[in-house]
A and B are shown apart, each in its own frame.
Chain A
Amino acid sequence: MTTSSSGPGVSGPRAVVAGHADFAAALVAAVHRITGLGGAFRAVSNEGLGAPEVEVAIRAALTDHGAIVVFTDLPAGSCTMAARKIMRADPAVSVVTGASVGLLLDFAMGPDVSAESLHRAVSRGREAMMVFPAAGAAGGH
C-alpha cells in the first residue's frame, strides 16, 4: 500500500518512508504541517503485504519518486528487511531505521542525500528524544 504525499515542485532531497500501519503517512503529514516539505517524501505501508510485496511497494515508490533513501520504523521490521534487500541489489540506495519526525525534518531541510546528511539527520533525531524530568532530578510525580 503506497500513499502519495504532495509531489510537484520538490527540488530538495527526496526519500521514501516505510513502516507499519499509518506510521509513514502520519510522519510525512507531520513534516508537511511543520515545514511544507511533505512532498519530499513518499509514504509506504506494509499493511496486508507479504515480504515480497513490501519489497515491490518500496521499490516502486523509490522509482516513482526518484529517491534513493528509505526511512523505516523498526530495524527488525519487514520494511527494513525489504529495503535492505533493495539496497543489496542497488548500492546507491541507503536505509535509515528508527525514523522520527525530528530525523525527517532535518533530512527535508538538508542540502542533499549524502551519507553525511543522513548521519546528521539521525543525530538530530536522537537529540530530539528526551525524558522530563531528567534522570536523577527530584520529581514529585
Chain B
Amino acid sequence: MAIELYRVDDRLIHGQVVIGWGHPLALRFIVLVDDNVAGSDWERELYRMGTPPEVDLYFETTESAVARMPEFAARPDPGLLLTADVATMSRLCDGCTAIREVNIGGLHHRAGRSPCLPYVFLSAEDEVALKSIAARGVRVIAQDLPASDPVELGDLLTKDGA
C-alpha cells in the first residue's frame, strides 16, 4: 500500500487530514516532513496528540524523509505524507522518483500569494516549483477532500479568485 497521498497543506495535521482523508484511506501512518517541526520536541508532541492512536506518526526532515522513503514504501498499510509548503515537496520530488502525484490540499492566504481556489493561494515561487514538479512527470492536482473534484495544475494556474 505504501504512501497513498503526498499532500501539501499549511495546516499539516488537522481535521481534513486525519478525518477527511484518514478515514476513507484507512490511514495507518503519516509522515510529517518539516525541518522546523522535526527539530521541536514541543511541536512533535502537539501533532502527536492530534493524531489518532491507531495511526503511526513519523517526523522527518526533508533529508531524512528522502532517505527513509524506501522503508515507508515497503509498509503493507496505507500512509500519507505531508509538507507545509511547495518548496519542501519539490525537494522531496527531487530526491524520490517514486512520487507520481502531488496533492495541493491547503495553502491559505498570505502576503505575496494570489488566489487560485478558496483553499489554494500561490506565490510566484510556488508556481515555479509546481511547474518544476510537473515537468518531472508528476501529476499535480488541487483537491482539499476526497469528495471534491480534483483540479489539474494547468487549470489551477489559470484560475483567478477564491
Contacts and interface: CB of A to CB of B under 8 A. Distances in A.
Contact of B15 (A50, A52, A78, A88): A78
B102 interface: no
A136 B108 CA distance: 47
B11 A78 contact: yes
A53 B18 contact: no
Interface stretch (A79-87, A100-108, A123-131): A79-87
Contacts of B109: 48-50, 53
B50 A48 contact: no
A51 interface: yes
A77 B50 CA distance: 7
Given A48-B118, A50-B10, A84-B46, A74 B19 contact: yes
A52 B12 CA distance: 11
Interface residues of B, number: 25
Nearest to B14: A78
B15 A51 contact: no
Interface of B: 10-15, 17-19, 42, 46-47, 49-52, 84, 106-110, 118-119, 162
Interface of A: 20, 48-54, 73-78, 80-81, 84-85, 88
A85 B46 contact: yes
A85 B52 CA distance: 20
Given A50-B110, A76-B52, A85-B46, 11 more contacts: A48-B108, A48-B118, A49-B109, A50-B108, A52-B110, A53-B109, A53-B110, A74-B19, A76-B19, A76-B50, A84-B46
B8 to A, nearest CB: 12
Contacts of A88: 42
Given A75-B49, A75-B50, A81-B50, A48 B162 contact: yes
